[in-house]
A = this chain, B = another copy of it.
Amino acid sequence: MYEILETKERITADNDLEAAKLREKLKEKKVYFINLMGSPGAGKTTVLTHVINALKEKYRIGVMEADVDSSVDAETISKLGVRVIQLHSGGLCHMDADMTARGLDGLGIDGLDVVFLENIGNLVCPAEFDVGSALRMMILSVPEGDDKPLKYPLMFTVSDVMLINKIDVAPVFDFDIERCKSYVRKLNPDMEFFPVSALKGDGLEAFETWLIDRIETWRNEA
């Protein structure tokens, strides 16, 4: 037997107002903004590389690479020939709407159709901070375990689409995709799922088709 102690503290969040303003501005400018989240090593940069290559003939793409430190990911993405900026959070484990707005200013959104924010690798805080995106996309990788929706529920609740990455190693890690999905559906019945292997390219085409459709629908409404 064990006791449960709530150590909850209040988190200030006038962030939402800022995020709503930003979303409005991006809608006016017809820039589709995607907040990409997931743990360290889930495969965010690898997935992003594949998706950019699939979309860059159709859309003008910009990328904000957010990291605590280093520019490893911006270096990778800059080779794809799209507009990139590296954002350093200076120790913070997430981006908020204000930091994102400054990032978008730094990137320059004029002439862009789609902007990705690769958020800091973290399953907790990025879920709490709306950054004004049109789409919240998350990646869970198989080695993290299929019980993660139980332990980090907010991320799975607020995301619109979930890529289950590294499915090629699912048997090695005893990861049950259907069990994982069922945990998620209890939190978020509308979640869209795409099992993929970013390294091998498996399953990403289906996601990219879905994403283009989603972007087009948004553009027609904007």
At the interface, yes or no: A212 with Cβ under 8 Å from chain B? no
At the interface, yes or no: A123 with Cβ under 8 Å from chain B? yes
Interface residues on A, range: 35 or more
Asked if B93 and A5 make an inter-chain contact with CB atoms under 8 angstroms apart, the answer reads no
User: Which among A40, A67, A153 has the highest number of chain B CB atoms within 10 Å?
Assistant: A40
Asked if B128 and A68 make an inter-chain contact with CB atoms under 8 angstroms apart, the answer reads no
Main secondary structure of the interface of A (DSSP, over half): mixed
Asked if A152 and B88 make an inter-chain contact with CB atoms under 8 angstroms apart, the answer reads no
At the interface, yes or no: A188 with Cβ under 8 Å from chain B? no
Asked if A151 and B3 make an inter-chain contact with CB atoms under 8 angstroms apart, the answer reads no
Please, could you name 14 A-B residue pairs with CB atoms under 8 Å apart, sorted by A? A2-B85, A4-B74, A4-B88, A39-B121, A40-B123, A41-B141, A41-B144, A69-B150, A69-B152, A70-B150, A70-B151, A72-B150, A125-B125, A143-B169
Asked if A151 and B7 make an inter-chain contact with CB atoms under 8 angstroms apart, the answer reads no
Please give the distance in Å from A76's CB to the nearest CB on chain B.
Answer: 10
Asked if A68 and B153 make an inter-chain contact with CB atoms under 8 angstroms apart, the answer reads yes
- A71/B144 contact (C-beta < 8 A), A40-B151, A40-B152, A93-B125 known: no
Mark A residues whose CB is within 8 Å of B. 1-9, 11, 39-41, 65-75, 77-78, 84-93, 95, 99, 102-103, 106, 120-125, 128, 141-145, 147-148, 150-154, 166, 169, 172
State in angstroms the CA–CA spacing of A123 and B169 once bound together: 23
Asked if A5 and B103 make an inter-chain contact with CB atoms under 8 angstroms apart, the answer reads yes
- A1/B121 contact (C-beta < 8 A), A91-B11, A153-B70 known: no
